[in-house]
Amino acid sequence: NVFPIGVQLGELVKGNIIRVKEEIITLSLEPSQIHANLNIGHLSDHLSSTHLLNIVKSLKPGYMLNDLIIISKSDERGFVNVSNKHLLIEAAKNGKLPKSIQEVEVGDVIPGYVKSITDYAVFIGFLGGFTARAMRHTIADHYVASPVGLFYPHQSVICRVISVDTENSRCEVSLKLSDTPVTALPYILQGDFIRTYFNELIPQDGQTSLSTIEKKVNIGEVVKCKVNKQISERGVSGFKGNVLLEDNMDVKIKGFIHEYQANCRDEGVNENDLLYGIVLDLDMKGKQADLAVRPELVDKFKIQSNKPINNKYKELKKVSKKGIAVDAIIELVKDDYIIVSLPEQWNTIAFAAAKSYNNRTQPFMRYSFGQKVKVQIVHVPQHKNDNNVNDSNVIDRVLVALQQAADQEKFMISGTKSIEDFSPGQKIKGTITAVEKYGVFIKINNSSVSGLCHISKLSEDFVKDVSALYKTGQHVTAVVLNIDFTTQKVAFGIKNSCFKEYGIDLLDESDQDMDDDMEVEDDAEKSNLQMEIDSDDQESQVSDINESDNEMMEVNNNSQEVEITPLPIS
């Protein structure tokens, strides 16, 4: 056994992968040959299970990870834990990642990661055993009943120190967006959050380049579509199709047109239509695409496409260097990112982060198709003819940062309900955000309200194991049993007798009306071709990562079949 003598907390190292198993990657650090553990949740600042799955799939024994940081160790027990999080690594490079309470002062803005979450607080880890606490009233700029469901284990966060008690070794921090702007960290560049997301999808040694696959049909390319079959369900329209390639006529690309895109056409979208569309996004295998058919976008793109692509990139780089905000129109909202068009920049298709370090809430409640926003261009890829194989960007994507208003920065979701909007005996729809031995925590849909359903209120039968009945992310119908407005605690009931106590029929037809009033449509279900189909409630379920080997961006039954042929851009 080799003990970790010689490695220090905060030290930057690289490691050779020995094995990838369940939640832990085992590495041999170079050059010491010390064995270290890398938790799957520390692979990235992004915790969506689909994203982590993509990364894990590319990791094999023998591959070298070059950017790691020692976050904890024990000389006595002989273990070392490392992290691959960009936020922590950059902080360590600049000496801004503390390992003791003596290294922080009130007012400091520092990065960390979530170690654990309770119903009343979030506990933040730094280097070694140094931990700080963010109480419920300091985690957001608006009232929240519980941090459960808002923050997740291993989540990268930015903290502001608000209290330091060295005598009792207690540190209190704020996670409010108003207290923790990214601009307070000079070593983190604007756009780093979205840039690292795509950079992490670059394949490891010996694998086919994803950008090479995707260039069969490029993002932003005009294609001709033949609609073979149109199906509408819950207001969703889509299509499947083939792309005719010069080198392989049999390669197929499935596509999807959202209803809101189709409705922008005066004639709509019908079976056997031949229409033009622009490729908004492609899955990582380059075989499934999201298309835009909004006439204003397609027509202008066709007219303006005579400008050489290389010249467009040069102009975009000039705008990027100026650091000015430009107009953008949201074309598609996905779980982890937003796709926009830039009307004043030849309708260039660009990508923006849908979340941030401290805000992992669903973007579908904050952004919508056609919404006009201001963005700043933060990255323009090298043109493919430049033969720049060392370009840090993957798949030639233009990246932008959303310029949000001050009130949006506080992630107060307009139209959401607060605790004052509910009362005992009210039937609600919600999502389970945590499963504990003593019950489950439920967040009411389209609200900021969360509460506990005690194990005794889960079933008419004796419940031995709560986790055998309920899972995180599961949608449930419950009744509000009690609200303590002083402590801001809410109690729910799920078993039938709880509903009968208030004379409520569990299978009441009024559920549909309640859904319309209280439940926000889950656009992640609408986007059948999303590369990221997981929800925020799945972010903490990294243990299931090896079991979720599903095909990304799979089209469901809400689809229209088409054939797609790339058009030459003159």
Q: What is the pLDDT of residues 342-366, one digit of tens each?
A: 999 989 999 999 999 999 887 877 7
Token readout for 456 is 């005794």
Report in angstroms the alpha-carbon separations of 369 from 218, 257, 262, 374, 519.
22, 13, 12, 14, 19
Task: Determine the Cα–Cα distance for residues 359 and 363; give it in Å rounded to an integer.
Answer: 10
Percentage of the chain beyond pLDDT 70 is: 74
Task: Determine the Cα–Cα distance for residues 183 and 264; give it in Å rounded to an integer.
Answer: 38
Task: Determine the Cα–Cα distance for residues 196 and 87; give it in Å rounded to an integer.
Answer: 10
List b or e across 105-126, with b for residues whose CB sees 16 or more CB atoms inside 10 angstroms. eeebbbbbbbeebebebbbbbb
Fold of 12-84: OB fold (Dihydrolipoamide Acetyltransferase, E2P) (2.40.50)
Q: Per DSSP, which regions of 22-60 are E strands? A: 24-30, 35-39
Which pLDDT score, from 0 to 100, does residue 72 have?
93
Which pLDDT score, from 0 to 100, does residue 368 have?
85
Strand partners, 299: none
Which pLDDT score, from 0 to 100, does residue 277 have?
83
Strand partners, 389: none
Which pLDDT score, from 0 to 100, does residue 477 have?
94
CATH code linked to domain 197-410+554-566: 2.40.50.140
State the span(s) of the chain assigned CATH 2.40.50.140.
12-84, 101-188, 197-410+554-566, 426-503
Decide which of 2.40.50.140, 1.20.1260.10, 3.40.605.10, 3.50.50.60 is the CATH code for 101-188: 2.40.50.140
- Which of 72-81, 282-291, 468-477, 530-539 shows the lowest mean pLDDT across its residues? 530-539
DSSP 189: -
Task: Determine the Cα–Cα distance for residues 59 and 545; give it in Å rounded to an integer.
Answer: 13
CB 379 within 8 A of CB 350: no
Report in angstroms the alpha-carbon separations of 525 from 20, 47, 259, 343, 518.
31, 19, 13, 28, 17
Task: Determine the Cα–Cα distance for residues 323 and 393; give it in Å rounded to an integer.
Answer: 19
- pTM for this one? 0.69
Q: Which residues contact 486 (CB under 8 A, 6 or more apart)?
A: none
- Which of 52-56, 245-249, 525-529 shows the lowest mean pLDDT across its residues? 525-529
The CATH class for the domain spanning 426-503 reads mainly beta
